[in-house]
Amino acid sequence: MNGCNITLAGAQLTALGSGALWWDAHNLLCVSDLHLGKSERILRRGGAALPPYETRDTLSRLERDLEATGARIVVCLGDSFDDLAAAQSLSETERLWITRLQAGRRWIWIEGNHDPGPIDLGGSHLAELPLPPLIFRHIAQTGKSGEISGHYHPKAQISMRGRSLSRPAFLLDSDRLIMPAYGTYTGGLRSSDEALTRIMRSDATAILTGRTPHQIPMPR
């Protein structure tokens, strides 16, 4: 499996190159910030017309991760949809695709700030999911341990062979893991941003996504 093995609160996890997180002990795959329907939402609010293929691309990558891992539990860690209207505007093909991915699996939608209410797409809807020793929620909370969250779309920048390389990244310290955004058309917040440096401990690391995940000290 293309991933970096890590430990959080005693739980053995794998940060996958795709930006998903695998917890083998629970047969669980976690993805964050899918932002499905983003192109529709931008156009609806008067923005630029983007190619409307990001939902299909995101679902295709998620399907590959589900096939590769054989996950029986799926946790979507909030902001799965760009807003509730975007969820309602999915095409019938996309809605059936999600239904097919859910078949035979426990599927959990965690509440995000973009999608703060239930959606009519199957699965269960929770504000957060305690699964000791871990807890899954959308936005990190200070003073918590064993926390897995998303929201910030972290990315890390390094210099390699004279070039600057920036990729979506997991941020990990002894208390928490912040997930990268999984969705197509999602931007990112540099790990050096104060919003992230004040949350993460000084010894935090960043795991850059891609073909070969690469773990480095978190750039600050």
| pLDDT at residue number 51 | 53
Strand partners, 164: 159
- Is the pLDDT confidence value at 49 over 80? no
Give the mean model confidence (pLDDT) for residues 118-122: 81
Strand partners, 156: 167
| pLDDT at residue number 55 | 84
Q: Report the 3 state secondary structure along 71-123.
A: CCEEEECCCCECCHHHHHCCCHHHHHHHHHHHCCCEEEEECCCCCCCCCCCCC
- How much is the mean pLDDT over the chain? 89
| pLDDT at residue number 84 | 65
Helix (H) or strand (E) holding 63: helix 54-69
The total of structural domains in the chain comes to 1
- Is the pLDDT confidence value at 121 over 70? yes
Cβ burial 151-179 (10 Å sphere, 16+ → b, else e): bbbbbbbbeeeeeeeebbbbbbbebbbbb
| pLDDT at residue number 98 | 94
Interval 130-168: pLDDT, tens: 999 999 999 999 888 999 999 999 999 887 677 778 899
Using alpha carbons, select from 77, 75, 62 the residue that is nearest to residue 28.
75
Query: Are the CB atoms for 11 and 172 separated by under 8 Å?
Result: no
Interval 79-115: pLDDT, tens: 888 666 666 778 888 899 999 999 999 999 999 887 7
Pairing of strands 147-149, 205-208: unpaired
Which range is least confidently modeled, 80-89, 117-126, 141-150, 202-211? 80-89
Q: What percent of the chain has pLDDT over 90?
A: 66
Query: Are the CB atoms for 220 and 203 separated by under 8 Å?
Result: no
For residue 171, the domain's CATH number is 3.60.21
pLDDT category of residue 50 using cuts at 50, 70 and 90: low
| pTM listed for this prediction | 0.92
Query: Are the CB atoms for 195 and 181 separated by under 8 Å?
Result: no
Q: What percent of the chain has pLDDT over 70?
A: 88
| pLDDT at residue number 43 | 43
- Is the pLDDT confidence value at 24 over 90? yes
For residue 80, the enclosing domain spans 3-217
Q: How far apart are CA 50 and CA 3, in angstroms?
A: 31
Sequence-ordered list of residues with C-beta below 8 angstroms from that of 92, at least 6 positions apart, any chain:
none
